[in-house]
Every structure is written in C-alpha cells, then in structure tokens.
C-alpha cells in the first residue's frame, strides 16, 4: 500500500509540474517561426488515419464504419483508392469544418507487423530523389506513392474538390506507419510538383524515409509537418539511424511530437506531448528510449491503428457501390463521387453522383 501511495503522489506531482492532469503539452511554441503544434487537430487526424484501415469499402465510402465517428463525424469521402496489386488503400475527402481536403493513407496490411519491422531493420537507402542533390530515400516507400495507382487518383480527387471549394482550400495529409511514409511523399509532391501552398502533413508512427540531405530539403519545403511518435513505438526507430554516418544513414525530418505516457498497473494516468527540436533526431524525444513496443505502434491517443485482422489483402463491398466504382485493367478499385457544394452549405457540401 505504501508503494502505491508513493507512486500516486509522484504522479500528482508530475501533473502539477505540467500544469494539468490529462493530456499535457510540454512545449507548444518553438523559438523560431516554425508552425505551432495543435493537439486538437492531432486527435482529429488520428481518427482519419484509423478509418483508412477499414476493409469494408461500403462503410468507409458512406462514412458509417465504427471508426468514422467522433471528431470526424459527418465527413464524406469523395474518392477511395484500393490498389490490389500492391495492397494499398487511401481516401480523399473534404472536411468543411477544417476547411480542408483530407488525404489518408493506410499502413501495412499484407504481412505481419513483425515481418515488416524485420525488413525495415535491414533496408538501405537505394533511390536518389529527383532534383535534390545528395538526397536519397527508401525505394519502397517512394514507389508506393509515386509508382502505383495511388498518386494519379489522389491528384484527380484534389482537382475535383478544388474546382468546387476553391483553389485556396487547405490540404491535410495523414497516415500511420507505412501510410505515414506515403503521406510525407504525397505532401512533398503536392508542394514541389503541383505548386500547392497550403499543405500540412501530420503522421503517426512513421518510419524514417530518407537521409539527412532529404530531411533538410523536406523541412524547408513542407515546414508545416508534425510526426507524432508514441512512447516506445519501434517503427519510428527504423530504418536505423547511425550518428557517425549522417549522409549514409536514414534521418527523420522535423517536427517530432513525442507522446510519453505514465501508467500504473496497465492504467494510463496521464500523457505528456513534447514538441521536439528542429533537427528531426532530438535525443531527448523518442530517441531517448529503446523502440521495443509493437503495442505502442498500434495505438495513438487511445485510437487503434490497425486492420481488424492481419489477413491477406482483401476488402468487402456490396452491390450498391457498383454505381460509384470502377476497375482498371489490373483489378485496382476506385470509388468516386462528384463534388457538388450544396446551396445550403452543409457540413461536407458533397453530394452523390
């Protein structure tokens, strides 16, 4: 009993230090002009990142799945991309309450997370990023976005949405795990190749995707980026970072927000969110602990980020979706609805075809 009481007193003291019990932010503003981290936006976007794991495309397209609720309620999807060939899934829609187009990418599905992590540990830099001297990236993550059906479908959906909501609407890109890696390449692509200016990227449990040169370019081009990492999540530690070989190793881009949880007897007492420095590899954030946890990778802000089961890549879709769907020659599936802003300016402003 004495030990439990001591632990409770310690927890209360820590809460007082952070000025509030519950979710606390250690540092909200940076010392320079970097964008400010928004906790409310983070707990909203994690729900969007979770919903993209839904395998029932009917429920996802109609936004009636169990995950399609909470802060994302009333969101309406305008495009779903299911790449059968590479087992990739993404969606695009408009969140009028955020005045933003939301793009969400799913994390790995086809293999067990253990096997995927093992592959990441040994993966080396193997691709020069176009028009960025000395910048190298992970070929698999780059190709998953750039060399599949995902990119053209996403860009087409953005064009359709902007025709209705205006050229200045914000674009927010999110994803978890490998989906976070794809989200970062998407955000960079929108800025560099599509000339977009109002782009924000927020990812969860994202692995490293390039070297230090790439991280420097990325941070200059897409400064409104936040990588949320959770306690001892192992994936942000991969592929490995080697301090003594900065140009030859993987390197995170900023800005990391490290969520450190304090628990007792499997009960989370409170969590602290620390906005890290602008190096991308702040030694006082997730790098201060060993990345040993899969469970920390699969849950962020209490939201599950995984498929219902680790089965072979598959989906469910009822016949009602046929009028929205099309397939390409490789069997990849696309669900699309026209973007028509109603005169009453409804929550989503998107109608059926």
Q: Decide if 86 is catalytic.
A: no
Whole-number Å distance between alpha carbons of 155 and 187: 11
* Angle at 218 (CA atoms; ends 307, 259), nearest 5 degrees: 50
Whole-number Å distance between alpha carbons of 125 and 147: 17
Decide: helix, strand or coil at residue 150.
helix
Helices (H), the chain: 2-17, 39-51, 57-61, 113-122, 139-146, 150-165, 178-192, 212-221
Q: Are 135 and 66 in contact (CB under 8 A)?
A: no
Task: Kindly name the residue from 50, 177, 216, 286 that is annotated as catalytic.
Answer: 177
Decide: helix, strand or coil at residue 119.
helix
Q: Decide if 297 is catalytic.
A: yes
Provide the pairing of β-strand 127-128 with 136-137: antiparallel
Decide: helix, strand or coil at residue 198.
coil
Name which of 201, 203, 221, 194 is nearest 101 in CA terms: 201
Q: How many other CB atoms are found less than 10 A from the CB of residue 301?
A: 20
Q: Are 65 and 77 in contact (CB under 8 A)?
A: no
Task: Kindly name the residue from 189, 231, 233, 296 that is annotated as catalytic.
Answer: 233
Q: Decide if 328 is catalytic.
A: no
The two tokens of residue 273 are 């969110």
* Angle at 235 (CA atoms; ends 251, 171), nearest 5 degrees: 75
Could you list the active site residues?
177, 233, 297
């Amino acid at each position: 009993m004495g030990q439990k009481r001591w632990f409770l007193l310690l927890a209360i003291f820590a809460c007082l230090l952070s000025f509030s019990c519950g979710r606390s932010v250690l540092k909200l503003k940076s010392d320079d002009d970097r964008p400010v981290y928004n906790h409310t936006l983070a707990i909203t976007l994690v729900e969007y990142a979770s919903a993209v794991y839904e395998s029932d495309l009917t429920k996802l397209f109609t936004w009636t799945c169990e995950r399609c609720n909470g802060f994302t309620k009333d969101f309406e999807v305008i495009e779903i991309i299911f790449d059968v060939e590479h087992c990739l899934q993404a969606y695009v829609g408009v969140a009028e309450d955020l005045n933003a187009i939301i793009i969400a990418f799913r994390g790995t599905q086809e293999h067990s997370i253990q096997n995927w992590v093992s592959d990441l540990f040994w993966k080396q830099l193997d691709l020069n990023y176009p028009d960025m001297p000395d910048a190298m990236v992970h070929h698999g993550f780059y190709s998953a976005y750039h060399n599949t059906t995902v990119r053209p479908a996403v860009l087409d959906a953005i064009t359709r949405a902007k025709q209705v909501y205006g050229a200045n609407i914000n674009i927010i890109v999110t994803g978890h795990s490998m989906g976070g890696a794809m989200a970062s390449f998407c955000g960079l692509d929108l800025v560099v190749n599509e000339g977009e200016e109002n782009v924000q990227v927020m990812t969860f449990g994202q692995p490293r995707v390039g070297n230090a040169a790439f991280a420097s370019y990325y941070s200059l081009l897409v400064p409104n980026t936040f990588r949320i990492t959770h306690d001892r999540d192992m994936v942000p530690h991969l592929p490995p970072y080697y301090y003594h070989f900065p140009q030859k190793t993987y390197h995170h881009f900023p800005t990391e927000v490290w969520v450190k949880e304090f628990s007792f007897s499997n009960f989370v007492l409170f969590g602290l969110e620390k906005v890290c420095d602008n190096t991308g590899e702040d030694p006082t954030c997730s790098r201060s602990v060993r990345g040993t946890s899969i469970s920390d990778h699969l849950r962020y802000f209490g939201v599950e980020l995984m498929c219902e089961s680790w089965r072979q890549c598959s989906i469910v879709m009822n016949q009602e979706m046929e009028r929205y769907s099309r397939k390409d020659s490789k069997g990849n599936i696309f669900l699309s609805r026209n973007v028509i802003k109603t005169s009453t300016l409804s929550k989503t402003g998107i109608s059926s075809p």
